[in-house]
Amino acid sequence: MTIVIDPKNKHIMRAAPRLMQILRVLARHKFLGALRGKGNWPAPKEVRETFEELGLTFLKLGQVLALRRDLLPASYIKELEQLHDQLPALGFGAVRATVEAELGAPLTVLFASFSETPLAAATIAQVHEATLHDGRHVAVKVQRPDLEEMIAADIKALSYLVSLGESLFPRLRALDLPVLVSEFASSLNRETDFNHEARSIMLFRTALANIPDLWIPDVVAECSSENVLTMEFSAGERVDLYARQHPDEMPRLINTLVRLTLQTIFEEGLFHADPHPGNVMVLPDGRLSLLDFGMTGELDEQMRESLTHLLEAVVKGDARAAAESYLELAPQGSEKVNRAALILDIKAVLYDIHRSELANISIGDSFDSLLRAGSRHGVHNPGEFFLLTRTFVILESMIRELDPDHDYLGSFRAEITRLTEQHFSLERIKEKTGKLAREMERLMNDGPGDTRRVLRRIAEGNLGRLQAPAIEALGGRVSRNLERLTIAIASASLVIGGAMLVNAPLPGWHHILGEIMVYGGILGTIIVWAGALRSDKGRGSGRR
């Protein structure tokens, strides 16, 4: 399913019936008075009940707004977090029709058995237990019919309301509401596309294959489609229920949760954005099983690097570095931000964090405070940062529920240390060195020729008195200087990489390798300096 929002094509008549229904519900719950200002907002409970009455799309919108702690007061956030997405189950006839239409065969041909009673029924889909003809025990996730038309009408109505509100009340433009609606539609696209969820499951299975205490159910591709997703069945118990009977197992399971979260974020750029107890099961053999990959986030390499620097700055209490890393995470419009004021706000946030007791420090709350500080100064926070904040808030809340005395930050530090050691492993250094060498070789091979070609074209343009022979001589000098620059960059890289290894808290051989790299880099720098000195002397004698 694809939900398309075209801001230039808001045919209000198509969405008029739904729009009138929405307006009636908003009026009944005193929403329209909110246009007069914050003092006229409806009570938090009224807001929650409004979203519940408006149905599927607005339930999801309320859950998204529950993440926007930078926009709403805490009382509204707390109320919206209570929004549940359990709906009455679909009739089995509708389930059968969807499965057969999507998979192109009768239900009895596809499955040896298929339970008519769903295991769970939510807003987007419901899950049924089934068995394949080869004996595999599976769970079948079936999407509710007619979602596309329903959601598209609601998104169209929301887009119109936002456009109308900004026209009547220009101060609303500061909230970037069209961007919020657009990101919300994109989120619904991902959550209602089971092909996307299937790809996410395969990515997570690959990324976390080295964690022995974790099992992620595989996708049964031949029985899956855009609206039907068949997976291996997870015969486990909810982790919160398991914790009551096996409290001694919690430290191990919590460490596994922390490891899989940080490893996917910093190594793969992936994260499960909804790690609540209902999505974390414990198998009979004691392994964790992670379910429901409809809500996941992705971070590119630059965002992961900025996030790493941000965490380091928060730990060190460096407000300026934290502000710069935060703005790298949210680059859109960051050039208009008053950085001095933002740094002061972040300094206050870091002060509050560092004066707290160690056991009470929360990564999720720290990110939440940064989001609020940024929004106050006009930073457009990326959707991934909200999802990431949600991930840490839910994870920390679940860990405190499973074992209130567990040293969460200790688990966090241990995993960061492991990832650091892996980052500086011999295999990773060889990989990065090989990549650097290939880039340098390409630069050295292509640079001089490219330089000569560009300069030759300039010469052929007869630019003033600059003739081809002079250009060729200049090209030769530029090529030689480019080669020296390449060697200098490589030498500097060796020095920096070696220094990092020498200072890293790792086994002794890293220090030896680091010293060799530093000395090699210094030697390369001396060679470049000597070559440049000889060249300068040669040009000086030529002038004499």
Q: What residues are labeled active site?
A: 274
Nearest to 56 by CA among 116, 140, 142, 143: 143
Q: Report, in angstroms and rounded to the nearest whole number, the Rg of the chain calculated over CA atoms.
A: 29
User: Which H helix or E strand runs over 281?
Assistant: strand 280-282
Distance CA(110)–CA(132), nearest Å, equals: 7
CA dist 272 and 498 (Å) reads: 35
Burial 285-317 (b: 16+ CB within 10 A, else e): eebbbbbbbbbbbebeeebbebbbbbbebbbee
d(CA 57, CA 51): 9
- C-alpha span between 394 and 416 (Å, rounded): 20
How many CB atoms are closer than 10 A to CB 404? Answer: 8
Instruction: Find where tokens 């931000």 sit.
Output: 337
DSSP one-letter code for 122: B
- Rounded Cα gap, residues 111 and 99, in angstroms: 11
H-run or E-run covering 524: helix 508-543
Cα separation, 83 vs 123, whole angstroms: 11
How many other CB atoms sit within 10 Å of the CB of residue 346?
24
Q: Under the phi-then-psi rule, with left for phi > 0, alpha for psi from -120 to 50, and beta for the rest, what region is 55? A: left
CA distance 189 to 182: 11
**Rounded distance between C-alpha atoms, residue 327 and residue 408, angstroms:** 27
